[in-house]
């Protein structure tokens, strides 16, 4: 199934920095780095999947284009180029504040994995919870640009028996209650720090994870802003990664005690075809395949191609 995501997986570049043994210490009068991540150029062409060729078309089509397609929203861009889901991190930090990350929980909800981007430490566990009244197939891969992908896990995520629906799919009110969780430990090979999770039944469902070696990071929201605090004074490499980009952006920064430093990054949007999975006319795979009277209605959210 990872072949369906070959474009994104192929875009990853593994950080080649040496392995540091991080030491937790009390940070007195640390510095702060803040800034914004933006992207310039036309919005990248999205991956799109024809729902009539994929299971659970009616339910999963509650988020769709209105023409029977489901779009992978890997680039969330604001009106001024603000980029969501970029991970900003300091590299090669030897010692600093407590390295305590929250447990990672990923919800399969409305045939989507949320959050789209996560961070964790090597050998941390992730919990995947099905909030949908359909079955999912959880496939996890560690990725590398040169050596390719390696399977981390492949497990079914049974249909959620607690999900409540009023009315027929597409014209209803949904109450999402959690089903039985799936728990997996993430252990990546040496010099790999990225993994991707995809649904084998619904290939437009993705969630990305980055394994960090220190707690100095930030994940941008819709405003593209980030802030990293309690940094011991010194010189570091500040890096940015986004799942849809080919490369990291990096800058050398000098952090001074008690002071705030502003650093902005700007990506150039990838242009042209990014995947074999794009919207196109195909007379052999139209809505009639679903049967008479069956419709795909974007009742939850209509996606804009």
Q: What is the pLDDT of residues 250-304, one digit of tens each?
A: 999 999 999 999 999 999 999 998 888 988 776 666 666 666 778 999 999 999 9
Q: Taking the CB of residue 27, how many other CB atoms lie within 10 A of it?
A: 17
pLDDT category of residue 239 using cuts at 50, 70 and 90: very high
pLDDT of residue 160: 85
Task: Give the lowest-confidence range in 150-159, 176-185, 212-221, 227-236.
Answer: 176-185
Determine how β-strand 117-120 pairs with β-strand 206-211: parallel
Q: How far apart are CA 2 and CA 197, in angstroms?
A: 9
Q: Is the peptide bond before 115 cis (omega within 30 degrees of 0)?
A: yes
pLDDT of residue 176: 76
Enumerate residues 6+ apart whose C-beta is below 8 A from 146.
none
Q: What is the pLDDT of residues 41-64, one digit of tens each?
A: 999 999 999 999 999 999 999 999
pLDDT category of residue 171 using cuts at 50, 70 and 90: low
pLDDT of residue 172: 57
Q: What is the pLDDT of residues 68-99, one digit of tens each?
A: 999 999 999 999 999 999 999 999 899 999 99
pLDDT category of residue 38 using cuts at 50, 70 and 90: very high
Cβ-count burial of 8 within 10 angstroms (0-12 exposed, 13-18 middle, 19+ buried)? buried
pLDDT of residue 74: 96
Q: Which pTM value belongs to this model?
A: 0.86
pLDDT of residue 123: 92
Per-residue pLDDT at 3 exceeds 60: no
Enumerate residues 6+ apart whose C-beta is below 8 A from 14.
144, 145, 191, 192, 193, 194
Q: What is the pLDDT of residues 173-197, one digit of tens each?
A: 677 777 778 999 998 887 788 999 9
Four-CA torsion 139, 143, 149, 151, nearest 10 degrees: -40
pLDDT, the chain, mean: 88
* Residue of 93, 117, 109, 113 lying closest to 25 (CA atoms): 93
pLDDT of residue 283: 63
């Amino acid at each position: 199934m990872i072949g369906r995501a070959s474009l994104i997986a192929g875009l990853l570049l593994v950080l080649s920095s040496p392995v540091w043994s991080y030491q937790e210490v009390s940070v007195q009068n640390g510095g702060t780095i803040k800034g914004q991540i933006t992207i310039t150029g036309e919005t990248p062409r999205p991956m799109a999947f024809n729902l009539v060729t994929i299971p659970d078309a009616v339910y999963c089509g509650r988020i769709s284009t209105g023409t029977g397609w489901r779009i992978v929203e890997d680039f969330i861009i604001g009106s001024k180029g603000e980029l969501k889901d970029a991970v900003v991190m300091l590299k090669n930090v030897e010692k600093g504040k407590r390295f305590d990350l929250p447990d990672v929980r990923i919800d399969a909800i409305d045939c989507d994995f949320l959050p789209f981007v996560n961070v964790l430490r090597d050998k941390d566990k992730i919990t995947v919870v099905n909030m949908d009244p359909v079955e999912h197939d959880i496939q996890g891969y560690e990725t590398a640009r040169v050596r390719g992908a390696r399977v981390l896990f492949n497990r079914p995520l049974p249909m959620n028996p607690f999900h409540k629906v009023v009315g027929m799919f597409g014209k209803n009110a949904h109450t999402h209650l959690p089903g039985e969780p799936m728990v997996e430990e993430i252990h990546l090979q040496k010099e790999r720090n990225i993994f991707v999770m995809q649904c084998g039944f619904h290939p437009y469902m993705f969630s990305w994870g980055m394994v960090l070696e220190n707690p100095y990071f930030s994940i941008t929201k819709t405003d593209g802003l980030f802030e990293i605090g309690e940094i011991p004074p010194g010189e570091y490499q500040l890096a940015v990664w986004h799942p849809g980009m080919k490369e990291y952006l990096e800058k050398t920064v000098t952090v001074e005690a008690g002071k705030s430093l502003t650093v902005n990054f700007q990506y150039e949007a990838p242009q042209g075809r990014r995947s074999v999975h794009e919207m196109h006319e195909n007379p052999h795979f139209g809505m009639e395949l679903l049967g008479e009277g069956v419709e795909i209605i974007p009742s939850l959210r209509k996606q804009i191609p």
